[in-house]
């Protein structure tokens, strides 16, 4: 049976009214497929990314099941990897449960538990929690688990990436075994499969889009940018353009995110038009930054992958990858921030020669070659500082070694040959030629970046294939 309206799910009036108010006219594919299963009390394994409507896909049947406020102990538990995602899911509960009297609560760390405990004591029907905070409060005796009949794991792949497996196992031990389980994950690899085998009962697997298909909805482009300073110049050039109205800039590390923020806030945009979020930022700062960005008061949000996980902001005009994520699936999550709900978005990625390796792995995951464009002539190409160049060469060596453990390393070979003792090494260091000016384009290279993969195509192909879809990129 084709499902073209929410009425066909036979949801209650309260939910249908909320759905209508949110402007959802038709269930998305993941909703069409999983809602009837969940309503039928099956365990479901949903492979769906953020942006597909997966949150409502598990919330609607759950809200339908717990219906109205009852007793004081929670009857549903949703686990998610980050505070931001927990808050976002909790907000979706507020919206979808608007016409019910259900009491729900977000539990997450980074701030004192006092208010959370007070709310728990008043009685709740549904908890949305990070695994760590849930267990902390459980151990304090503040959570009664005996009535939990539905458990949802959202972004299960990310939870495992973030090392939450032990906490999830502890939670499974303290909640009733007779329950319905819904597991959602953006990717489906060996670990998610094992987790689902461990914790779901005869699950029905629903996959709405082939892995990484968001990529097709987004205009992607790669710029080969030789070094950090030139990346900053390129950012300066891009965000000054009118079209860059609501931009997320992704950085791999907190340090890089801070540097980008400082530079742009000082020189390029008014400081109240830009915010930065990463794990070291206080909870309130992060929430305020997200809200301001959502409301459109902030033009640029600089974020690390973990901080930005699952963030749902409509109409992000551009995603800029200042660098490439080392967990390759995060590339898909990053670019999924733009191009949602039928808006075509644009994802711009900068890459240095040391990132060429990662881009090839990402291209294998998204099953497409990302088009490359030359740097605009307005952007000043800065010479690569010696230290930065050495660091990149070292990184390339490491990448080659990862694919070929017998490889000793060109950088180290050279160093060993030229610099026999630590003493002469010091001396020699000062004599080493300074960095070569990176030519914007030279034969055999693209913007000075060798186009051939370090280690040779054949060597990489073998191991890369084995790794594709896995976490081969981590360390
Ligand atoms: P999610 O994949 O859960 O992060 O949802 C992505 C976005 O889609 C959210 O902004 C939802 O409000 C929105 N959404 C969810 N279901 C529908 C629907 N059936 N029609 C239109 N938008 C929806």
Of the three residues 181, 207, 233, the one that is the final residue of a domain is 207
Tell me: do 52 and 123 sit in the same domain. yes
Q: Is the CB of 56 under 6 A from ligand 1?
A: yes
Ligand 1, atom 20: closest residue by C-alpha = 24
- Total number of domains constituting the chain: 2
Q: Rounded mean pLDDT of 234-241?
A: 93
Spacing, Cα 196 to ligand 1 middle (Å): 25
Tell me: do 247 and 360 sit in the same domain. yes
pLDDT tens digits, one per residue of 428-462: 443 333 433 333 333 334 333 443 333 333 333 33
Spacing, Cα 198 to ligand 1 middle (Å): 29
Q: Is the CB of 27 under 6 A from ligand 1?
A: yes
Q: Is residue 367 part of a domain?
A: yes
- DSSP code at position 381: P
The number of the ligand 1 atom at minimal distance from the alpha carbon of 24 is 20
Question: Residue ranges of the alpha helices (H) in 352-473?
Answer: 356-366, 386-403, 410-418, 422-431, 457-467
Q: How many other C-beta atoms lie within 10 A of the C-beta of residue 4?
A: 11
Tell me: do 196 and 254 sit in the same domain. no
Q: How many other C-beta atoms lie within 10 A of the C-beta of residue 270?
A: 8
Spacing, Cα 58 to ligand 1 middle (Å): 12
Of the three residues 368, 383, 398, the one that is the final residue of a domain is 383
Q: How much is the pLDDT for 421?
A: 43
The number of the ligand 1 atom at minimal distance from the alpha carbon of 50 is 2
Spacing, Cα 210 to ligand 1 middle (Å): 18
Q: Is residue 414 part of a domain?
A: no
Of the three residues 174, 207, 240, the one that is the final residue of a domain is 207
Spacing, Cα 40 to ligand 1 middle (Å): 22
Tell me: do 198 and 329 sit in the same domain. no
The CATH number for 351's domain is: 3.40.50.300
CA–CA gap between residue 346 and residue 404 (Å, rounded): 35
Domain that holds residue 137: 6-207
Tell me: do 247 and 148 sit in the same domain. no
Spacing, Cα 316 to ligand 1 middle (Å): 15
Tell me: do 130 and 255 sit in the same domain. no
Q: What is the mean pLDDT of the chain?
A: 83
**The dihedral formed by the CA atoms of 6, 7, 10 and 14, expressed in degrees to the nearest 10:** 80
Tell me: do 229 and 343 sit in the same domain. yes
- DSSP code at position 338: B
The pLDDT confidence band at residue 267, using thresholds 50, 70 and 90, is confident
pLDDT tops 90 at residue 281: no
pTM summary value: 0.56
Q: Is the CB of 209 under 6 A from ligand 1?
A: no
- Residue 436: which residues within 8 A CB-CB, separation 6 or more? none
Tell me: do 170 and 227 sit in the same domain. no
Cβ atoms of 438 and 375 within 8 Å: the answer is no
Q: Is the CB of 448 under 6 A from ligand 1?
A: no
pLDDT tens digits, one per residue of 365-394: 787 899 999 999 999 999 999 999 999 999
Tell me: do 191 and 224 sit in the same domain. no
Q: How many other C-beta atoms lie within 10 A of the C-beta of residue 166?
A: 11
CA–CA gap between residue 447 and residue 457 (Å, rounded): 20
C-alpha angle with apex 107: 95 to 54, nearest 5 degrees? 45
CA–CA gap between residue 195 and residue 191 (Å, rounded): 6
Tell me: do 235 and 112 sit in the same domain. no
The pLDDT confidence band at residue 2, using thresholds 50, 70 and 90, is confident
């Amino acid at each position: 049976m084709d499902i073209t309206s929410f009425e066909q799910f036979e949801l209650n009036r309260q939910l249908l009214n909320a759905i209508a108010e949110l402007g959802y006219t038709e269930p998305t594919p993941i909703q069409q497929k999983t809602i009837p299963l969940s309503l039928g009390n099956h365990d479901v394994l949903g492979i769906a990314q953020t942006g597909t409507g997966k949150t409502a896909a598990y919330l609607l049947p759950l809200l339908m099941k717990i219906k109205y406020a009852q007793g004081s102990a929670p009857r549903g538990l949703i686990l998610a990897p980050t505070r931001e995602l927990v808050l976002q899911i909790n907000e979706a509960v507020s919206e979808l449960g608007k016409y019910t009297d259900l009491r729900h609560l977000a539990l997450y760390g980074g701030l004192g538990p006092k208010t959370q405990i007070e709310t728990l004591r008043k009685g709740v029907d549904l908890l949305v929690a990070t695994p760590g905070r849930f267990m902390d409060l459980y151990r304090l005796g503040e959570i009664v688990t005996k009535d939990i009949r539905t458990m949802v794991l959202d972004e299960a792949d990310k939870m495992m990436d973030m090392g939450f497996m032990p906490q999830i196992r502890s939670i499974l031990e303290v909640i009733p075994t007779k329950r319905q389980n819904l597991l959602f994950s953006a990717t489906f690899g060996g670990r998610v499969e094992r987790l689902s085998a461990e914790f779901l009962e005869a699950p029905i697997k629903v996959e709405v889009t082939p892995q990484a298909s968001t990529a097709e909805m987004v205009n992607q482009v790669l710029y080969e940018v030789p070094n950090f300073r030139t990346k900053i110049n390129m950012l300066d050039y891009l965000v000054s353009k009118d079209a860059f109205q609501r931009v997320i800039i992704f950085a791999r590390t907190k340090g890089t995110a801070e540097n980008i923020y400082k530079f742009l806030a000082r020189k390029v945009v008014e400081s109240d038009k830009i915010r930065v979020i990463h794990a070291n930022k206080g909870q309130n700062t992060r929430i305020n930054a997200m809200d301001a960005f959502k409301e459109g008061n902030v033009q640029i949000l600089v974020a690390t992958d973990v901080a930005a996980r699952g963030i749902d902001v409509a109409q992000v005009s551009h995603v800029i990858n200042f660098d490439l994520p080392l967990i390759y699936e995060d590339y898909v999550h990053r670019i999924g921030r733009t191009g949602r709900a039928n808006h075509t978005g644009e994802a711009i990625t900068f890459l240095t020669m040391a990132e060429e390796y990662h881009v090839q792995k990402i291209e294998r995951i998204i099953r497409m070659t990302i088009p490359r464009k030359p740097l605009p002539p307005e952007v000043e190409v800065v010479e690569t500082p010696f230290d930065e160049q050495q660091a990149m060469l070292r990184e390339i060596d490491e990448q080659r070694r990862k694919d070929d453990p017998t490889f000793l390393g060109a950088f180290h070979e050279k160093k060993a040959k030229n610099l026999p003792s630590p003493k002469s090494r010091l001396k020699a260091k000062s004599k080493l030629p300074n960095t070569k000016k990176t030519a914007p384009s030279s034969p055999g290279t693209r913007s000075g970046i060798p186009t051939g993969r370090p280690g040779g195509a054949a060597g990489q192909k073998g191991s890369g294939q084995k790794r594709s879809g896995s976490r081969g990129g981590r360390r």
